Amino acid sequence: MSWVGSSAVEIADAVRRGKVTAPVVVAEHLDAIAERDGRIGAFRVVLAERALAEARALQEREDLPRLPLAGVPVAIKDNVAVRGEASRNGSAATPDVPADEDHPVVARLRAAGAVVVGITNVPELCLAGFSDSVYGVTRNPWDPGRTPGGSSGGSAAAVAAGMVPLAHGNDGLGSLRIPAACCGLLSIKPGHGLVPPPEHDWYGMSENGPLATTVADLALALAVMAGDMSLATPGESEALGVGSAIDDYPGGLTLSEPLRLRVAVAPMPLPPGLSVDAEFQRAVTGAAEALGAAGHTVVDHTGRMSLRVGAAAVATWFACARGDVEGLDPRGLERRTRSLARMGRLLARFGADGATDRDRWRAHGADQWFGNADVLVTPTLAAVPPPAERWGRRGLPANVRVNLTYAPATAAWNMAGWPAMNVPYGRHSSGTPIGVQLVAAPGGEAQLLALAGQLEAARPWPRHAPLT
């Protein structure tokens, strides 16, 4: 049998038990990448020889039977350090200098037995909800004419196309949840401080996290990235001989025996002037009804965020661009990046970079708007994914308009520093997946994973796009 298409939990269990070797699993996934990525463009670099050598060395490790991700092929987003490779961050202007050491998240994945098979494409400096750059246009496996989202779009496309079971990404204004929603995947942006952040942490808003096709895989990858195996789901944590944060959560929260949570449903949470596709709104309502059927108390959240919060998110986006271009030759930057940074400098000159409103939202605004619920359910996207094009060559108005109309629902929770995730929930009439966003207060990652598990049981989703 081929292990391509298997979950990370299935692969690791088989490698630990000697049913298959890590080199065989990795070779099969490298073959899948060679066969499929020409149509998708998920990878900037495929590390075929290194990955096979890494898999052979892994197979000889004495601790192989205890490794949580034994032999699991993973992809790494091109904005964190991978030892021996340059991190280009989607740009020709960044240094082409190999990293001396892995980023801590990459090191933890490798220590847990994962094998890095490649580095995935991102938009320049990860500044957009698409994944086109000088290195090519990444396409959505569900509809190659559409974007897989961004900025972790290459990672999402690699998982959705079945080229890897797990991928790393990060999320500064929605960059895990947006591509997960575009590609029919699970992703989780952990709360601040749980996982070591990327180098460019965007005022403390950007968090590293995983993309996966099953809740068990997502929880296991998050546990490894956090360096806390108790975050794994009950079955997997027991197999590894550790406790589970889901088991130990106050009230006995498990995926099969849930807490009775108060779930607020907000199909239209955006500031005035922005709207959400009607099918996406119905998916939010449907997900909330499924959680109600599982025993939770579901309440309506009819409030819309203020324009001030929305403006702070946009100003913060410009400010991040301003900071990230420092030290880079502008001649090597794309038109969009130069325009975003120019606007960031202009706003900073007038003291309008969003910092005050961002801090106010994090200090108390998010908690007040969230209300007395345990978990909030919202749309992840507001519209279907836009076309896969070279958006980086276009100017500020086009990029701002498209980003704000299709993906405005995630940034507020980066500014708050709260955990949030995407869960697939149905298909749009366009044929693309629909995702719903679950948000919890700080420390609520286990709650989110448990609710995602209930949605997975209530309405299973296709784990991979049907590539033709």
Question: Which residues carry out catalysis?
Answer: 77, 151, 175
Question: Is residue 135 helix, strand or coil?
Answer: coil
Cα 211 to the center of its chain, rounded Å: 5
Question: Is residue 20 helix, strand or coil?
Answer: coil
- By C-alpha distance, which of 168, 159, 188 is closest to 464? 159
* Beta carbons within 10 angstroms of residue 421's beta carbon: 30
One-letter amino acid for residue 252 of the chain = G
Hey, CA dihedral for 407, 410, 412, 415, is it positive or negative? negative
Euclidean distance between CA atoms 21 and 290, whole angstroms: 40
Helix or strand run (H / E) with residue 153: helix 153-160
**Pairing of the two strands 297-300 and 262-265:** parallel
Helix or strand run (H / E) with residue 274: none
Beta strands in 270-392 (DSSP E): 297-300, 375-379
One-letter amino acid for residue 182 of the chain = C
Euclidean distance between CA atoms 396 and 404, whole angstroms: 12
> How far is CA 267 from each of CA 59, 159, 447, rounded to the nearest angstrom?
48, 28, 20
Q: What share of the chain is helix, strand, coil (3-state, %, to 5)?
A: 40, 15, 45
Euclidean distance between CA atoms 37 and 44, whole angstroms: 10
Q: Which ranges of 112-214 does DSSP label H, i.e. alpha helix?
A: 153-160, 177-183
* Beta carbons within 10 angstroms of residue 152's beta carbon: 39
Euclidean distance between CA atoms 124 and 136, whole angstroms: 11
